[in-house]
Structure 1
Amino acid sequence: MWEVAQRIRGRLAGWLRNPHQDYTPLWSDASNSRPLSRKYVLLALVLIGASALTNVILYGKLAKRWPGPLDNYQPLTIQPVVNDDFLRTRSPPLNSSENAIVTSLYTDSYATAIATLGHSLNRANSTASRILFYLPEKISPRALCIATATGFIPRAITRIPPPHGGKGVYDHFMDQYSKLNIWTLADEGYKGVVYLDADTLVLRNFDELFALPYNFAAVPDVYVDGMGFSLGFNAGVLFLRPSTEVFTDMLAKIDTASYNMHEAEQSFLNHYYGAEAVRLPYAYNANLAIKKRKPELWADVKREARIVHYTLVKPFLKEWDNSGKTVVEIRRMESNVQNKLSAFGGMFKEELLDWVGIWKETRRTYADVLTVCSGASATLPSS
């Protein structure tokens, strides 16, 4: 039957090209006549339609049966994320004075998070300089003292307001465009920058990022809803080559570019770099949303994670409050984390205990400095 359909399909194509030509029957039966050709045309249409419908149904089922490789994750590869042999033989070696790790402080409630992040960087032995961007009009002397207790150098920056008066931007992202000030570090001689959101924690050294030959790199984002694993990147961890020219160009295009305003600077950067952004492995931004989306994938990501990103639950903020409006006092931080262990059904207990463990080290190691911070003067330290 399939061969007949194919023969009819060929005849049909010829007939459609010249419907007035003499019809040559498919079989050498002299009884076949011109009127019979219409029957073959109808038969061909039926067979072709049935074939197409079968393909649609078959491939539709296959498409639904096989999810993407991340939602269908399997621990197959035996290669680590980083090739250590290559790193040991690279030349020239990194120049630490040209590299910087930057984070930002826009509200007092994140000060203890940055102190903990700084200590985690010390534990990982990163060689880069440490810079803390902060908004002087929004940060108290006490919070700045706590945030810089573990090694970050404070740097006052000018707030970059959201375009269009902030219309459409989520309230907790209103200050996030100020992050673009990172590109101005070119004026100070920095050639490589890794930006870390304050709600990250460093587990392993990631200095290899500074050897990347690219201008911009980030880790693909993950959503717990239907969007799932995205090609768009998360702006909580960025690698970039600073450029004053790029900074000026960004400011000129924030208002005119078309993008989803809800996610503020993250959405803008995704559109600004688009296809030019290098996608890094999840190990450099181990977003807790990965664990919520696919625990099996998280198990492998966590084993090699350099940086964990506390997106879904923030241990340093008041219980059930991710807005950052309430400051958790140092003496209450451990009990605050304990109150969050049951969040999401206890899914993130291990990661919360990781964070509080490093926080305890931070508090012990820098006890004298943190005590001084409690009586910080009303004058902000100079940048």
Structure 2
Amino acid sequence: MADQAFVTLATNDNYARGAMVLGKSLRNHNTSKKLVVLIGPQVSDPCQCVLKRIYDEVRVVDVLDSGDAAHLAMMKRPDLGVTFTKLHCWTLTHYSKCVFMDADTLVLSNIDELFDREELSAAPDPGWPDCFNSGVFVYRPSIETYGKLLEFCTEHGSFDGGDQGVLNGYFSDWATADIAKHLPFIYNLSSIAIYTYLPAFKQFGGNAKVVHFLGKTKPWSYTFDPKAKKISGSEQDVSSNPTYLLEWWMLYSSSVVPMLHEQYGDQTFHSGCVEFLCSEMMTIEIEQSESTLSLPHSLPQPSSQERKQKWEQGQADYMGMDSFDNIKRKLDTFLK
């Protein structure tokens, strides 16, 4: 339907690249819906031009900030403040129904069936399943709802300092009111939660339709050698699934980078794609068919405090230091 759209948000050029890949992945899987991207004024002209080639509508919006410095500092994610800009998506009233998707998501198959759902439909958050993750949700644009959301922000703020806290506070009955508004996890598969329940991922992961690159390190934070199909980065997130990361980079390098080079012309432009990787950066060698990640043995071990923080954030190294066998071994030693 012409009055239904997928909507995303990019507040800077990095997230604009993510939006480009998301848009191309939706196109590649033959969506029949319109594509809309909301962008902040900081997005450069070349990136805007590429977005206009992929999306049906590119709209510049003001960057809203939660102003909730205490909560943002607590989360150690000050960049989440601008995600309040996401609330602008409710102003797109020329559409009857929309599906919002974060710019760090990637579509793996056609998901037009999401438009059969009602507001507010979303998948559970892997960190606290009684909350929904605001990376993918179905909603109905409404100036009235937009006003009420801003009013809610003013009166109650956000319990996590970001848009997810606001939306869960406003749509507070999501967990209990209507199970039909609970999207299956395959529509918002967290790349950092895959290894927390590996048997389930092996059983159901093949049905995934949307992968969400949660966490601070985004796909565009790495570098990529298209010829060797190698991804490298100085801050490797060991819990990211390399298969999905490779899929993101293959799409970005083949479909997005040529358009970016065309727009930038002779200007200096770093796409993130390289032919020769620096030897000091650790390298992930990935074949298209592989689904496991091998890391060099020389990786620095995290401190006790860093491991504690990872556990508290639901990002324990279940395949390494924090594996069941290691934990059991330590318990056995302690009990003896």
Compute the TM-score of the two structures, normalised by the length of structure 1: 0.61
* Residue pair 2:225, 2:231 contacting (<8 A) in 1 also: no
C-alpha separation between the residues in 2 aligned to 1:334 and 1:132? 31
CA change 1:283–1:242 in 2 (3 A) is same
Structure 1 equivalent of residue 132 of structure 2: 233
Is 1:355 matched up with 2:248? yes
Q: Is the CA contact (8 Å cut-off) linking 1:111 and 1:146 kept in structure 2?
A: no
Is 2:164 the partner of 1:271? no
Identity of aligned residues (%): 25
Which amino acid letter does the alignment assign opposite residue 86 of structure 2? K
The aligned residue for residue 173 of structure 1 is 80
Corresponding residue of 2:262: 372
Check the 8 A contact 2:46/2:260 in 1, yes or no.
no
Specify the SS of the correspondent of 2:141: coil
Q: Which residue of 1 aligns with 2:148?
A: 249
One-letter amino acid of the counterpart of residue 182, structure 2: R
| 1:222 equivalent among 102, 126, 139 | 126
Counterpart in 2 of 1:199? 104
Q: Distance in 2 between matches of 1:334 and 1:282?
A: 33
Tell me which of 37, 40, 45 is aligned to 1:141. 45
**For residues 185-214 of structure 1, what are the alpha-carbon distances to aligned partners after superposition, in whole Å with 9 as ceiling and x for unaligned?**
12x2x11111111111101111111122x2
Cα distance in 2 for partners of 1:305, 1:361 equals 23
The Cα of 1:370 is off from its aligned counterpart by: 2.9
The separation in 2 between residues aligned to 1:151 and 1:203, in whole angstroms, is 18
Q: Which whole-Å CA distance do the structure 1 matches of 2:204 and 2:65 have between them?
A: 35
Name 1:296's counterpart in structure 2: 199
Structure 1 unmatched runs, 5+? 1-95, 224-228, 320-330, 378-383
Question: How large is the RMSD of aligned CA atoms in angstroms?
Answer: 2.8
CA–CA distance in structure 1, aligned partners of residues 229 and 47 of structure 2: 18
Are residues 258 and 156 of structure 1, via their aligned partners in 2, closer, same or farther at CA, if it must alter by over 3 Å?
closer
Indicate the larger mover: 298-307 or 341-350. 341-350
Aligned residue pair count: 257
Q: CA deviation at 1:135?
A: 1.1
Say if 1:220 and 1:282, in contact at 8 Å, map to a contact too.
yes
Deviation at 1:133, TM superposition (A): 0.2
Shift of 1:258: 5.7
Measure the CA separation in 2 of the matches of 1:143 and 1:337. Answer: 25
Shift of 1:315: 1.7
Q: Deviations over 1:44-66 (max 9, x none)?
A: xxxxxxxxxxxxxxxxxxxxxxx
Distance 1:113 1:376, change over 3 A: farther
Question: What CA distance in whole angstroms lies between the structure 2 residues aligned with 1:178 and 1:254?
Answer: 12
Equivalent AA in structure 1 for residue 64 of structure 2: I
Greater RCO (Cα-Cα under 8 Å, separation 6 or more): 1
Displacement of 1:149 after TM fit? 3.6
Query: 2:105 corresponds to which letter in structure 1?
Result: T
State how 1:1-383 maps to structure 2 within 5 Å: 96-136=1-41, 138-163=42-67, 166-169=69-72, 170-186=77-93, 188=94, 190-212=95-117, 214-223=118-127, 229-257=128-156, 259-262=158-161, 264-276=162-174, 278-312=181-215, 313-318=217-222, 338-340=231-233, 343-345=236-238, 348-363=241-256, 367=258, 369-375=259-265
Aligned-partner SS, 1:159: coil
What letter corresponds to residue 17 of structure 2 in structure 1?
Answer: T
Distance 1:107 1:318 in 2: 17
- Match for 1:200: what amino acid? T
C-alpha distance in structure 2 between counterparts of 1:172 and 1:340, whole Å? 21
Distance 1:120 1:178, change over 3 A: same
Cα separation, 1, equivalents of 2:64 and 2:229: 32
Residues 155 and 208 from structure 1, CA distance in 2 versus in 1: closer, same or farther, beyond 3 angstroms?
A: same
Kindly indicate which of the two structures has a greater share of residues assigned to helix. Answer: 1
- Indicate if the aligned counterparts of 1:341 and 1:349 stay in contact, CA closer than 8 A: no
Normalising by structure 2, report the TM-score: 0.69
The equivalent of 2:275 in structure 1 is: none
Consecutive unaligned residues of structure 2, counting only runs of 5 or more, are 176-180, 268-336
